[in-house]
Chains A and B, each alone.
Chain A
Amino acid sequence: MDYKYIEQLIDRYFEGETTLEEEQILKKFFAQEELPEHLRKWQALFIAERDLAAAHLDESFHERILALTGEYHVKAQPISLHVRLRPLYRVAAFLAFAVVMGTAVEYSTGSRTEPAQEQVAVQEQDELNVDETTPLDIRSAELIPTDTLHLQ
């Protein structure tokens, strides 16, 4: 493999003539484990630069400084209407569920009449609800089954 380009970059680096991009190429090149013998001597230098450039403080450092200076304020997050109403959604869902379940139980136990049957029952009730002013015998007569009547 031809390392002419890398060798030229190294020379230009020490002359202070490389660009930032070329310096990145050198750091990447020397991050490899397999290097030609004559270039290996520069590895420690470029790796050290790269490692030091990657060193950083933990995120908690900023919080510590803010706490020490009394500048630690938790920012109030704007709460949307949807989030505010979330507890009500749960109540509404529970109520809807309770109504559905109640209705289902009512039907399954037969305590509630089907609409068609209900209508028939109302009609029958209307027929039975005779005007209070009607004489009692007429009402009784209407209720007497025909097979019990004996015509003369």
Chain B
Amino acid sequence: MDLRTDILPHSDRLFRMALNILMDATEAEDVVQDTMLRAWERRAEWESIENVQAWLTQICKNLALDRKKKMSRTESMNAQTTATLTTSPTGDTEGQLALLHQLIAELPPPLDDLVRLRDIEGFTYREIAEQLSLTEDQVRVYLHRARGRIRQRYEALQA
């Protein structure tokens, strides 16, 4: 395995996950950097890792949740970051991301990860099953459950 070809290509996906958890692009970028450096420190383990993507996701998620706890308040998007967000046609990217953050954050594991993998990353049921160590049937059932909760919560927020 190689840092350049096997680890770094996951950084954008990890960034989106961290951004969804932290709601701050600069903090999310820092978390992905820490994830990459942590993975590099543990490079002796690389050959024994079966699913690199799941391994990196777990490191990144733990780091993001730790940082989330330390953050006393949600900061606005930092203009200095190198990260890029597409401008929404409604012009309220930050507000919409906050909404999605809230909807997903309220889901229990593994429903939160499942929704991120499906709705943000566009993975198939099989790919999600491999990453979360679930069966495809479980993925379908959990996705049904997760979206049902999202609909309920979303309609409550809209009311």
Contacts and interface: CB of A to CB of B under 8 A. Distances in A.
Contacts of B49: none
B3 A71 contact: yes
A150 interface: no
A13 B147 CA distance: 8
Contacts of B4: 62, 66, 71
- The residue in B85, B95, B96, B103 that gathers the most chain A C-beta atoms within 10 A of its C-beta is B96
B144 A61 contact: no
Contacts of A53: 16, 119-122
A31 B89 CA distance: 7
A57 interface: yes
Interface in B102-122: 103, 119-122
B19 to A, nearest CB: 6
A140 B92 CA distance: 115
Nearest to A71: B3
A60 B11 CA distance: 12
Contacts of B40: 65, 69
Contacts of A44: 90, 92, 95-96, 99
Nearest to B139: A16
- The residue in A13, A23, A45, A68 that gathers the most chain B C-beta atoms within 10 A of its C-beta is A45
Contacts of A66: 3-4, 8
Interface residues of A, number: 35
Contacts, number: 121
Contacts of B121: 53
A88 interface: no
Contacts of A62: 4, 8, 11
B65 interface: no
A61 B82 contact: yes
Contacts of A69: 3, 36-37, 40
A9 interface: no
A49 B120 contact: yes
A14 B85 contact: no
Interface string A50-71: 1111111110111011101101
Contacts of A23: 119, 122
A41 interface: yes
Interface of B: 3-4, 8, 11-12, 15-16, 19-20, 25, 29, 32-33, 36-37, 40, 82-86, 88-90, 92-93, 95-97, 99-100, 103, 119-122, 124, 140-141, 143-148, 150-151, 154-155, 158
13 contacts: A15-B148, A20-B124, A44-B90, A44-B96, A45-B100, A47-B90, A51-B93, A55-B25, A57-B15, A57-B32, A57-B84, A58-B84, A65-B3
**Nearest 3 A-B pairs (CB), nearest first?**
A58-B82, A16-B144, A48-B96
